[in-house]
């Protein structure tokens, strides 16, 4: 990837003259089952632009209670788009058609304050990287469309879902009006994201990109990383998933509170609350032992993430060191 970055052909992205950015956008649109795509610095910016494009100030966004858009984007939906948020508590991050119906009952007042946008997340970060079944995606987006809502997919990790389920990303992405994809997570790029959608929508997204200060110049050095990632780092996500599974099973065998059913992609969540440990203490103990885990939105759950810098040897060490650091019964 570093070599691809070094050799990248570049031009002025703002004038749409950067050949690497243009090539990346074309590839990404096809990959995500959409007509057109836009390169952006971050997935947060992609989500925020999408919300603005699909709504007017005062409209309502329907999203899952712990979705990144709801809990990690600094209130951007309100700050940038003027949206109110209808946050729905949903099992594994998956809002049901019935839940959607319950929040889209037609108003009896003349003011039409009703949901305008439905945003889903796949894989769902806060539930531990779980995937949406394709049939549920199809049913929920169809129900949203029937009720006049626009649909956005925060597919920051959509390729993890596609690889885990043996699907084309386009099969999961084509149901939505717009799709975000992050290049800097499992795909391993230094930064960058994609917003894909219909040509007319992406044309309007260009304006928002400038407005957000996200229009770049010789961005081809980043786009080249994205092109490299599409060629080399997609199928290998299966390795990350297999390592996460092996890590989860190893920890589970050692007595760590790990729900094996949760491990569908590249996250392993550990319920340190069940060990009687606080989050900061657990993370500090793990860090001292040389195992880097991170916090989650849930106070009593910490998580390990497998990615292209974590190999089999690191998994072996983590399986050995973490139970000892957290002093579980089996390892004591």
Give the Cα separation of 236 and 310 in Å (integer): 12
Q: How far is the CB of 46 from ligand PLP (least distance, A)?
A: 8
| Cα–Cα nearest to 161, from 234, 58, 72 | 234
Which residue, 182 or 301, is less far from ligand PLP as judged by CB?
Answer: 182
Q: How far is the CB of 103 from ligand PLP (least distance, A)?
A: 21
Check if the beta carbon of residue 291 is closer than 8 Å to that of residue 318. yes
Q: How far is the CB of 124 from ligand PLP (least distance, A)?
A: 8
Which residue, 31 or 275, is less far from ligand PLP as judged by CB?
Answer: 31
Which residue, 159 or 326, is less far from ligand PLP as judged by CB?
Answer: 159
Give the Cα separation of 289 and 218 in Å (integer): 42
Residues that bind ligand PLP (CB under 6 A): 42-44, 68, 121, 125, 154, 156, 182, 184, 193
Distances (CA, A) of 2 to 65, 232, 240, 319: 38, 13, 21, 31
Q: How far is the CB of 276 from ligand PLP (least distance, A)?
A: 29
| Cα–Cα nearest to 249, from 240, 261, 265 | 261
Which residue, 132 or 256, is less far from ligand PLP as judged by CB?
Answer: 132
Which residue, 184 or 262, is less far from ligand PLP as judged by CB?
Answer: 184
Q: How far is the CB of 167 from ligand PLP (least distance, A)?
A: 18
């Amino acid at each position: 990837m570093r070599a691809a970055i070094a050799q990248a052909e570049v031009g002025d992205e703002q004038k749409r003259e950067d050949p690497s950015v243009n090539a990346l956008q074309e590839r990404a649109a096809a990959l995500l089952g959409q007509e057109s795509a836009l390169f952006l610095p971050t997935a947060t910016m992609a989500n925020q632009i999408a919300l603005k494009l699909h709504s007017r100030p005062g409209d309502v966004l329907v999203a899952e209670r712990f979705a990144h858009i709801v809990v990690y984007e600094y209130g951007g939906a309100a700050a940038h788009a003027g949206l109110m948020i209808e946050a729905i508590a949903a099992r594994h991050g998956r809002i049901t058609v019935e839940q959607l119906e319950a929040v889209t009952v037609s108003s009896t007042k003349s003011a039409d304050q009703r949901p305008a946008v439905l945003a889903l997340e796949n894989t769902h970060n806060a539930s531990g990287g779980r995937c949406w079944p394709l049939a549920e995606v199809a049913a929920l987006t169809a129900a949203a469309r029937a009720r006049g809502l626009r649909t956005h997919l925060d597919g920051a990790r959509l390729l993890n879902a596609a690889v885990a389920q043996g699907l084309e990303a386009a099969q999961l992405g084509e149901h939505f009006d717009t799709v975000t994809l992050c290049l800097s997570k499992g795909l391993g790029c230094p930064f960058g994201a994609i917003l894909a959608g219909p040509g007319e929508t992406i044309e309007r997204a260009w304006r928002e990109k400038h407005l957000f200060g996200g229009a770049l110049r010789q961005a081809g050095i980043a786009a080249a990383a994205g092109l490299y990632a599409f060629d080399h780092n997609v199928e290998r996500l299966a390795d990350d998933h297999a390592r996460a599974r092996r890590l989860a099973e190893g920890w589970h065998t050692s007595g760590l509170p790990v729900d094996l059913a949760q491990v569908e992609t590249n996250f392993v969540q550990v319920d340190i609350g069940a060990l009687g440990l606080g989050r900061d203490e657990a993370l500090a103990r793990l860090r001292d032992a040389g195992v880097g885990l991170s916090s989650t939105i849930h106070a009593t759950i910490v998580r390990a993430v497998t990615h292209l810098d974590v190999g089999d040897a690191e998994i072996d060490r983590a399986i050995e060191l973490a139970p000892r650091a957290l002093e579980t019964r089996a390892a004591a």
